[in-house]
Amino acid sequence: GESVGLHLPTLSVQEGDNSIINCAYSNSASDYFIWYKQESGKGPQFIIDIRSNMDKRQGQRVTVLLNKTVKHLSLQIAATQPGDSAVYFCAENISWGGTSYGKLTFGQGTILTVHP
């Protein structure tokens, strides 16, 4: 069945280090991927997205890499800060062909802890 999973449930880094969070997906038909950050007691916050016709996309301090051959997605955070501590989810958008249907399938999440 379709699934989105994460290799590492927890990641602990020092402030200033670069962080890499990985995600595997199983549905070859997926055409859109999103990374979300969720802090305790809050809803998921959009970080960055990438479409299946791209391999890499950069934002402010973040980069998402997509490898369709092995169905792998990663989020790189440069110069990680204590404020980056949160749970990070990758989500897979499965289009059913309608004009607006977009069911997000989430992985279980990776807990990122940044130590000062």
Partner 1 sequence: ETGVTQSPTHLIKTRGQQVTLRCSSQSGHNTVSWYQQALGQGPQFIFQYYREEENGRGNFPPRFSGLQFPNYSSELNVNALELDDSALYLCASSLAGLGEVQYFGPGTRLTVT
Task: Please report, as ranges, the residues that interact with partner 1 according to CB under 8 A.
Answer: 4, 31-32, 34, 36, 41-46, 49, 51, 89, 91, 93, 95-96, 98-109
Q: Of 111, 108, 102, 115, which Cα lies nearest the Cα of 31?
A: 102
Nearest residue (CB) to partner 1, 56 versus 101: 101
Residues 6+ apart with CB under 8 A from 92: 2, 4, 25, 27, 30, 32, 33, 104, 105, 106
Minimum CB distance to partner 1, residue 16 (Å):
28
Nearest residue (CB) to partner 1, 98 versus 116: 98
Q: Are 110 and 88 in contact (CB under 8 A)?
A: yes
Nearest residue (CB) to partner 1, 17 versus 57: 57
Minimum CB distance to partner 1, residue 96 (Å):
6
